Amino acid sequence: MGPLFRKSKQRKIILGALSEMKTHPTAQELFARVRETDPEVGQATVYRNLRILKEQGEIIELSFGAGARRYDRNVARHEHFTCRRCGTIEDIYPDTRSLTGSLHKKGYRVDEMKIEAFGVCRKCAKKIKSNR
Amino acid sequence: MGPLFRKSKQRKIILGALSEMKTHPTAQELFARVRETDPEVGQATVYRNLRILKEQGEIIELSFGAGARRYDRNVARHEHFTCRRCGTIEDIYPDTRSLTGSLHKKGYRVDEMKIEAFGVCRKCAKKIKSNR
DNA sequence: ATATCTGCAAATCATTTGCGAATTG
DNA sequence: CAATTCGCAAATGATTTGCAGATAT
């Protein structure tokens, strides 16, 4: 079987910091955040632990288009909406059954489906409306 | 307005090579392919032209999870299915209207939706079946 | 003519790895 | 104690950029 994972001090710090951030941070953003309170934590430690936590199913790894990967403490099945105006990434919970269903009918075995939506979020849409 | 794009020899070579490849290649894969016939083309030229061709809407840029970006000459609206067994990336054309519709109802303005499906493709599914 | 483009090499950005020391169970 | 993890620095992989010379319109 695989290696035995320990509850290292750093692993707890990193998971704790990610839990507090609602912004779906990149490894670098999380590293910066961790450094604020624990300046002795190394950057490789952050990357290594993100990989381990992902393998353990404690967190999810995201990658929106190009650029750095992002991490998410919300492990429930969900998708993301990125606002082009304010940059916020919101969790969304679309019903994907008809999508996977039609693929199954065509002979595909689907075990994962990733959906990313882009546009203007509800908050920004309201602002735009009131400004005219 | 923006810059005037020219039809450089290299740009044509790169677009031509991508047109012939049905594999959704990375910039490096495309670079290697171009080098086979035109060894004088530089790697920066490939990257630069991929960006320009994308801006012009001649090609599409994809990024599946982590790893290098991939490029696609098929600019029609479509999505992708990646087979975990043979690695092939197939074009799929799912109906996304109900998905965008329900987001619109919730107040989001959706201008783009990206879907990536993963699993076992039809060809591999058949092979697995016949092997037992 | 001159804005655009090229090839090369060096720079940048995100991430991984080697290693000897420290920590966890 | 022995497996695991750490921090650091160097390595890697993907992509971008600076620049002087070449090219397209």
Structure-token match 């995201």, residue found: A62
- A66 Rama class: left (phi>0) / alpha (psi -120 to 50) / beta: beta
The rounded distance, in Å, linking the Cα atoms of B45 and B9 is 11
Total-model pTM:
0.90
User: Tell me: the pLDDT tens digits for B8-47?
Assistant: 999 999 999 999 999 999 999 999 999 999 999 999 999 9
Q: Is A71 exposed, middle or buried (0-12, 13-18, 19+ CB in 10 A)?
A: buried
Name every residue in B having a CB less than 8 A away from some CB of A: 61, 63, 65-66, 69, 81, 84, 92, 94-96, 98-100, 102-103, 106-122, 125-126
B132 confidence band (pLDDT: 50, 70, 90)? confident
Residue closest to D23, CA→C1'?
B8
Q: Which tokens hold the place of B9?
A: 């020899």
Q: Is the CB of A41 under 7 A from strand D?
A: yes
Q: How far is CA A121 from CA A21, A22, A126, B15, B83, in A?
A: 19, 16, 9, 36, 33
Single-letter amino acid, residue B40: E
User: Tell me: the pLDDT tens digits for A49-84?
Assistant: 999 999 999 999 998 777 899 999 999 999 999 999
Going by C-alpha positions, the residue among B87, B59, B80, B106 that lies closest to residue A114 is: B80
Which H or E run contains B104?
A: helix B97-105
